[in-house]
Structure formats: C-alpha cells, structure tokens
Structure 1
C-alpha cells in the first residue's frame, strides 16, 4: 500500500470503535519514549580514563589476592572466592570493551527506489517493498489489532509498497477475522515446527518484500519506523537494523514527596520535597521487575556499533531479505557438510577403511541434504542472536548491523514474576545453548572485537556460578569467623576500596546517567534462573519456546523467590550471630571482618529484596487488567 493510502486509513482508524477491547495499558497510551542520550566526546574520554584506571586497580588487587592474601588454613573457602572474583573481573574487562566507544551511524535520507539500496536488481527504478510481520500464537487478537492499525499508520516520504502480514501459529478463526476486517494478509501453517523461527520461515516463503519488519504480537510500530531506518540500507552491506525496545506500560511509581504527602499531609510533603532536593528523585513502586530496557539498548547494544557487533533482538528489527536468505543458505551448507563429515567418519570407523566410493559419498550427500532444513531463521529459541552470529561471521560477504538509537515502536512488559521468569529463562537458556552446542566464538570470520562482544553476552549468563560464591562468602565468615583472606587489614582495604570507588565512578560516567543500581541488584538476584539455565543446557535438555504471557498471571508466585527469601533469612541471621559473637568475645572475629562481611551481606539482602518485592507487587486499581 502506498503512504497516501496509509494516511487515509489512519484517519478512519481514529474514528470511535465500539468493538474496541479495553486493556490495562489504555491509561498509558499517551506516553512518549525518551530520546536517546546524546553522545558527548568529553564524557567518553572521561569514561575511558576511569575504566582504564579501574581495570588497572582491579588487576593489582587480584594479583595481591592470588599471591599474598590467601588464607592457607582455609583454601576450601579462599580459592573459590578468589576464583569468583577473577571471573567477575573478566566480566568487567568485557564490560569495559563493550562500552569503550560510541559510533552512531548517520541517519541517511530514506531511499525512494530499490536501486538506491542494492546494485543487484533487475529494475533499479522499482518501488521499495516492505513486509511487516506480526508473529502470534495465543495472544488476544484484539491486542494484535492494535499493532496492525499502528502499522497501517506508518508514513514514508516516497511512494512505497507496504504489506502487513499476521503470522498466526494458533490457526485461530478470530485472528483471521481481525485480519479480514483490517484488510491485511493472514498467514498460517499446519504445524508449529521451529516455533517463531519456523513461523517466520513459512511467512518468507509466502512473501517477497525487499525488507522485513519483525514484530511480536504486542509490538506497536511508530509512523517513523521506516522513514528513519531504511536510509541505513543505502549501504548494501547493512543486513539489519535493530531499534530499541520500549515498554510503555512500566509502572512509574510515586515520588517520596507524593508518598509522604499522602501519609502525613503538608508536613510530609515538605519533608519529602526537602529530601529529594538533597539526594535527587526517589520513587517507590516503579518498574518492579527491572524491565526498563534503556541500559541494554541505549548503553550496551548501542556501544557495539563500533565493533559491528550489535546483534538482532527480534521485535522492532528491520532486515534485508537478501541477507537473511544468504545466511540461510550458508547455514544450510554448513549443516550438510557437518552431517556428511559425521557420517563418513562413522563409516570409516565401522568399516575400518579410509576409502569411500564416489557413489556412496554421493548417496551420503543426498541423504544429508534431504535431512537438513533450509530455514531463513535457525529453528532455535534464540533464533535472532543465532542468525546475527551467522551474518557477522560471514567475512566474505561483510554483512553489517546497525543499532539505531531512536525508539520506533512500543511494546508490553511482563506484568508478573512468572511471566518475567519465563522470559529471562528463555534468554539465558537460549544464549547458553548457542554457546555450548551450536556456535563457537572461535569460528572463522569473526573479528576479535566481535568475539569479545558476543563473549560479553555469554559470560554474563554464566555469572550465576560465581554469584552464588559471593552470596555464601559473608555468611561463612559471620557464622564461623573463618576468613578467605589472611586478615581484614589496612593492606586489604588499601587495595580494595580504591578499586571499588573508581569502579562506581566509572559506571556512573559510562552509563550516561541511566540508573544502574537496580540493574546490578537484579543481576545478582538472577542467580537461580542462571543456574537452572546452565544445568538444563549441560544436561542436553532442549530449551523450549514458551510464549511470554501478555496479561498478568494471577497469584504472587512466592515459590519463584524461595532462594531469595532463604538468602535474606540466612544472611540476616548470620549478621546477628557474628555481631553478637564479636561483642561477647566468642570466636576469632575482628571488627574489620564483621563490618566488611555485614556490609557485604546487607548488600546481598537488598539485592534479593528486588525479586521478593516483585513477587508481592500488585498493580493499583487503575493498572489492573480487566
């Protein structure tokens, strides 16, 4: 459809619709996304200076820990802790590399003809064709309707062929009826093979657009999504553009001033206002599941442009069809060759001969081709990052990715702890499955900067292993007075404190003012999901692809936070026991050891409280779903 038709349809869509379903997020429809934080050369230089100093101090601290501080009377405790510290430091190095520099690609004028985006076309003067695909399985059809209508409002300064498709793996009559009423294409299939990846493959076999816009069932594209992103494809090597995901339904909570005013009237408002003037805004009840994606998209993924390593995150991404199909062919070829190699090696082992006849080899090849699947998207729970790695490692073709800084769509966040857990386990398990079973970071084709960027992602999902050590360490000391270091002495603090102080300063500068405290707390509290994902993958279990619920699931789901409650209870008891023992002169406790481990334990307890509060969180009356 042309942009003119789109504008006319947009006018009609604004007319009252008595059939319009109501949703909990209706009250948030007027929210607008934040602008990307502007790049500052001075801030970048300061970050690079601070992180360099931090890494130097950290390296010195670790050298001292390994060579001069270990408690040889308790190596069973000292070695695991210093190993955990080393693993955490490796993560910090990768974090520093990730955030080292900012390279925002210029937003080029939107192309008018396909010839402006590719030289390999029979008709350079042809209009661009774009397929906008909404993948759905069990989501409410009226929710998908909202995304369809927003897609029909997409504007473009030139005539363009935009086709909207709904990819329904639920094969629902109600979804088909919505598509017929909205005048968009309905695509389904007989099976659910490959889940979302299979759904996309089936859709690509039935469409022909030059570019694909991938949307989830709850994705609501903005009118500017094509006008501000298709210009990147003037570079024929750009394979896809990822736009930031923005959850417009996140609870904003209440300020300290508002809370104090409600409870204590004018006096409370005055006290709350005074405190917030001193320390800055303080909010309660905001984003209970730490879903705000700005830290990931505006800081982490955006900083990967310089290394050409910003991977695809699914919804809100725009793909060049040619690149997706080329990745599919290369993956198919690799799959066939691997199958042939496995079969011939087994045949040589069984037959005890190194010679295989050409006829038999051809038969093996034919069997491998027939057994392999040619799919534009890998049949995998994390098909987006998997496809990204295939394209990034194609050095011969030189495909590039772009992390676009502006939000171009809105979507829904998990509204309860169960939905959040399903989503995070899928992310962790899918990524670790790629690391252990599917894709080596040593694969030919990657640059070293790309290897480091992907390593940073995978390493973060292994952190549950050493985070358990960090949770146990203060408890062990406070219950036994056994320390992992020879002494909590001035020598210890002289090496640790400068490192920690410089680290916090570096993070404040490096994250551009986006609050990171709650993200760090949730990273530590993420340990049960990380451990479960690691164990699942190591046992060879398949990571399933459950659809993240788009509506709040009833209940408080306390069974999901029993590990966190246990950590809080055990750590709190250990602090009381250790403090009382020191006061009474029982055991070998020192004031330095008590203060260090009590502070450490309290930090762990506060981090666990993030998840416990999320389990108890309930939307207020205005936020509750009907």
Structure 2
C-alpha cells in the first residue's frame, strides 16, 4: 500500500474563522507589545550597556534589536485577516475576462490543464494523483486535461499515464529542472488555467469549484491553496491523554488547558511539518496587501498572466542586452551611431540568445514567479490564498529528507534576496515589499539566534554580564514586553499551537546559517528532489550543533549555580535566574529537533492515533 494511501481516512484542518472581536484584541495587544518592546530596546541602548564588556554587550543588543525589527514585520504581516470574497464558479471563459478583453471572444467552456511534475518518484505514487484528478468536479461544462510532466523519461511512467488517460510530456534535456519542466509543458498545452501538482499531490474533487471563482476578477493571476500533509501524525488531544491517566478530572483539566493555550496534542508530527500556521495565518493574512505568494503545488494559474509577465521580462532583457551590445559595437567602430540594419541585427541576436522562461529557472521558481507577476504594475496582477485545503500531499518523514527540503527553501530564498532583491524591484507596492521583506528577513534570523544561544553560555562560564546589572529595572522592562508579546501571539494564532514552530525556528540555526554561507560564497543551490519515502536510520550528525547547545548550556548551568553558591563575584541571584530561564528555553527549543533525528514510527501507537484522528 502506498504511503499516501495509508492515510486516506484523515481529514485536513478547517480554516480559522475570522472574528472581528479577536482581531481587535490582537491588534490592541500587538500594539502594546511593540510599544513596550520599543521602550525595552530604547532602555537597553541608553541605560543598560555593560561598558566593561562591550565585546559581549553590543553584539547581544544588536541581536535583540534585529529580533525586534523582525517582530515589527511579523506584526504587520498578521495585522488583519481581510481577504477577497469567494465567488461562484465561472461558467465560461468570458466570465473570467473584462469587457474589453472578452469582446469578440467565443463564449466557450473553460479549459484547465492539470500538471503533475515528476522526476524520480514512484510512478504508482503519481498514478494516485492522476486518478484523483479525473474525479475533479465542476458544475458547468469544462475541458479538463491531465498531463504528466516526466523529467525522468521513464517508460513505466509513460505507461501509467497511458493507463490513466493522461497526456505524457517529456523533453530532451532537464535544463531548469522543475521550472524548465513547467516551461516545456506550457509550450505544449493551451488551457486557460494551469493547476500545478507535485508527484505526490492528490487533488480533491472540489479543487476547481472552490478556486476558479476568484478568477472572475480578471486581475487575479493565481490562487494558492494550502498544502496539507496527510501523513503527519495527528497526535492525541491533551484531554484524551489526561483522561486516560486521570479519568474525568484529567480530561476536564486537559480541556481547560487547551481553552487557555490552544490545541495541544501528544505524539503529533515530530518534524513540525504541519503547515497550518504558515498557510492559514501568515500567508492568508497577506491577502489584504495582494502579497500572498505562490508555493508551487496546489496552485492554480491564469495562463495569460504567466505568459505575459514572462514575455514582458524577456523583452526587457532583450532590450537591455541590445543596448549593451550596441555600445560595444560603437566602441569597436568608433561611430557615433550604428546603421539601423545593424541595430536590428544586434536586437535579433539578443532575442535569439535570451531564453523565454515562463517559470524562472531557479530553485525557488514559485516565489520568483510571484515576484515577477506582482511587480507588473501595468497589469496589476493579483494573488489569493484560498484558506480551505484542496489536496493532500506527503511530508518528509525523516530528518534527512526534511533537511534536504528546508535547505532548498532557505537557500533559494536567500539567493533571491542577494541577487534579485524584491525590495528594490520596480513595480511592487510598499505593502507587497513589506510582506516579501518579512519572508526574506526571517531567513536572516540565524545571525541573531546564534547570539541568543551563546549569550547565556558566555555568562554561565565567565560571570561576565551583557547588561550593567540584572536589577529590578531590568526585570520590569523585559517582563512587561515578553508577557505582552506572548499574549498577543496567543490571541493572533488562537486555535493553532505555534510552540513547536517557534522552537524549530531557533533550532534550525545551523541549516539556515549554512544556506546563508552557501549563497554569500556564490555557490549554486542545487535542485534535489525531496524523497517521498521514509529514509531508514537515525541522523545524530544532523543535530550535532543542537546537541552541543544542550550539553554546553547544561554544564554551564551546573557551573553557574555552583559559582553562585560559592559567592563568586558576578553570579548574583538575579543574573542566575535570568540566565537559567534563558538557557533552559534554549535547551528545550533544541529538543524537538534532536528527538526528530532519532524518531521512528511506532506502528503500535499509530493505531490509536489514527482512531482518534478519524472520530
């Protein structure tokens, strides 16, 4: 049985309901959090520096400031949940065009191409998606075509496509990897809309009914649906676990804790793969700024938008190359101007040499395409994050596969930041630049997270303080800020537990630092296919830095409290309390990733989890 078929009975999350009262509470608490955060940062710069250890004090304060900037950006991202209203499915192509564009156009049924991009994945896995694609429903006549885009050029994949009635597309080379695969398919198909699926994507029958209505707005270029990993262990709700341990009283306590702190489950996803926080909160709340970006699989694209944006970018590059070549020719000939026939030849040569790429040849072609379309100010293309899950996929089920995937994400994003920074791209609106900035800024986090991990260790072993004193004034400033920040985040994400995601955000510092270093050295980020089957074994090598943080911090705590007991200078009670809480949080944040390196699925425990999840 296929991995994805084992979890057929699982159902995806339901989108969070928008509550005006909750949003108002979040906005108030978030504002107060930023006010007190600014108060804290200002106090730190003006009144708390330890001038006897500036080598330690200044880097920490710079890290705190950088993290606060990230909090400001994150708050802007989460500020409001406004999204375009869902519209009924269009009956004909004319419903998706404005009056000027539709004049003279035959009012015909919509044509939709469904692309399954594959390279080395099991053909039987792709077969499941092809079968589901044939079950896609629509209330009006529609021309639905399913295509297998096989960069592996495999006869067995071609046979599966033939058996399932899908069109088999391949090419002579693999230039551009997935982006090149999509480009090739765009040139061989003609649907009005294109659905992007990965090899393991299994679309729901409601995919087009739920999403094509947005395209009634002729400016909508693509709609992204959440990626739901159906094989993520759902865990058992806390009240059920406590009920087994302590009967009705335990169940009541568990329910009370979840009402206060949000859903909590035991035995859930060990890899923090659950993407609800990203799709249902972060990306969904970019709809108001027209800045929700494409994430590849599960997205529906208007062909006209993709091709027109690519054509415009191609023309700009040809013109730029022609200008450069013309200047070079004038330098060689010494002429003030070239003959028109020569100028035409130069332009033609530039057009021949410049490749036309509907999807950018890049490891992060999805977000790159989003930036290109959003920056087309002349057409004013829009994007939408539709909150309801419309497909199921497989997640990385071992730390090696997870690391391959996340390094590709991090490296690709940083590469765009360095080489084609959207903050300096013409055409993007200020809100769009801010939203893209949130994403890119988050991948710089290891630069300050490393400082946060090292700071308590430095103090515990040396007794040197990064602040002038761990005084009452210090605790008043930082406690007010931290409490308000925790309360605001709790309200903002009510209904979703983001504790594990925050822990992994800190624990991923070696991977993100490696991505930064790779790009800064000018190295190419490769295009590895994320394995769809669980890789056997444990991976302690992948968490050696995290294990080191836990071990060194633990030894430091023992050393520090011993020094405090001996009355050694610098190891005051306030300093020890602050650094114990700090170091303890760092250690706890490393543990989920360390556990994931050794995690093995437990078939005995899986059965009750599945039963619980399907109630």
Provide the TM-score with structure 2 as the length reference: 0.93
The structural deviation recorded for 1:441 is 1.1
What is the CA-CA distance between 1:288 and the residue it aligns to? 0.4
Counterpart among 18, 34, 37 of residue 13 in structure 2 = 34
SS in 2 for 1:430: helix
Equivalent residue runs for 1:153-172 within 5 Å: 153-172=135-154
> C-alpha distance in 1, partners of 2:323/2:471?
59
Match of 1:100 in 2: 79
Unaligned runs of 5+ in 1: 1-21
Aligned to 1:597: 579
- Given the alignment of the two structures, is residue 299 of structure 1 paired with residue 281 of structure 2, yes or no? yes
1:536–1:363 distance in 2 versus 1, CA, 3 Å = farther
How many residue pairs match? The answer is: 598
2:50 maps to 71
Deviations for 1:137-182, whole angstroms, at most 9, x for unmatched residues? 0111111011001100000000100000010000011111111111
Separation (CA, whole Å) in 2 of partners of 1:440 and 1:367 = 29
Q: Distance in 2 between matches of 1:277 and 1:45?
A: 25
Q: CA deviation at 1:285?
A: 2.4
CA RMSD of aligned residues (A): 2.0
Closer, same or farther: CA 52–354 of 1 in aligned 2, 3 Å: farther
Does structure 2 retain, via aligned residues, the 8 Å contact 1:242–1:317? yes
Alpha-carbon distance in 2 for matches of 1:489, 1:380: 51
User: What is the alpha-carbon distance in structure 2 between the residues aligned to residue 141 and residue 24 of structure 1?
Assistant: 13
Q: Secondary structure at the match of 1:186?
A: strand
Give the match for residue 498 of structure 1.
480
Match for residue 109 of structure 1 among 50, 65, 88: 88
Change (3 A) 1:267 1:313: closer
Distance 1:492 1:355 in 2: 69
Name the CA distance, whole Å, in 1 between partners of 2:333 and 2:503. Answer: 58
Q: Distance in 2 between matches of 1:245 and 1:257?
A: 28
Q: Which secondary structure does the structure 2 equivalent of 1:466 belong to?
A: helix
Q: Post-superposition shift, 1:27?
A: 3.3
Tell me what 1:23 maps to.
Answer: 2
For structure 2, the 5+ residue unaligned runs are 608-615
Would you say 1:143 and 2:125 are equivalent positions? Answer: yes
Which has the larger displacement, 222-231 or 361-370?
Answer: 361-370
Mean Cα deviation higher: 52-61 or 350-359: 350-359
Q: Summarize deviations over 1:258-303 as a string: whole Å, max 9, x none.
A: 7679xxxx76657854652453365332100001100000000000
Q: Secondary structure at the match of 1:226?
A: helix
TM-score, normalised with respect to structure 1: 0.92
Between the aligned partners of 2:333 and 2:47, the Cα distance in structure 1 is: 56
Contact 2:241 2:251 in 1 (8 A): no
Which of 489, 497, 505 aligns to 1:515? It is 497
Q: Which residue of 1 aligns with 2:114?
A: 132
Whole-angstrom distance in 2 between the partners of 1:214 and 1:465: 35
Equivalents in 1 of 2:545, 2:495: separation in Å?
32
- The residue that corresponds to 2:513 in the other structure is 531
Match of residue 534, structure 2, among 552, 563, 567: 552
Alpha-carbon distance change, 587 to 235 in structure 1, aligned in 2, over 3 angstroms: same
Residue matched to 1:222: 204
Question: In structure 2, what is the equivalent of residue 231 of structure 1?
Answer: 213
> 8 Å contact 2:239–2:255 — kept in the other structure?
no
The corresponding residue for 1:58 is 37
In structure 2, relative to structure 1, the CA distance for the partners of 1:95 and 1:344 (3 Å cut) is farther
> Which segment drifts farther, 331-340 or 408-417?
331-340
- SS at structure 2 position matched to 1:87: helix
* Structure 1 position 388 matched with structure 2 position 367: no
Rounded to whole Å, the distance in 2 between the matches of 1:487 and 1:351 is 69
Distance 1:277 1:314, change over 3 A: closer
Per-residue Cα deviation, 1:450-500 (whole angstroms, up to 9, x for no partner): 010000000000101110000000001111111111001011111110100
In structure 1, C-alpha distance between the alignment counterparts of 2:407 and 2:42, rounded to whole Å: 35
1:198 correspondence with 2:180? yes
Aligned position for 1:357: 338
Q: How has the CA–CA distance of structure 1 residues 474 and 381 changed in structure 2, closer, same or farther, with 3 Å as cutoff?
A: same
| 2:101 is the counterpart of 1:123 | no
**Corresponding position of 2:272:** 290
Q: CA deviation at 1:103?
A: 1.4
1:360-394 C-alpha deviation (Å, 9 max, x unpaired): 65454333322211011000011111110111111
CA drift at 1:339: 3.3
| Contact 1:256–1:272 (Cα < 8 Å) also in 2 | no
1:214 and 1:256 mapped to 2: Cα distance? 37
Note if 1:568 corresponds to 2:546.
Answer: no
1:479 aligns with 2:478: no
SS at match of 2:141: coil
Contact 1:113–1:124 (CA under 8 A) maintained in structure 2? no
Residue number in structure 1 paired with 2:611: none
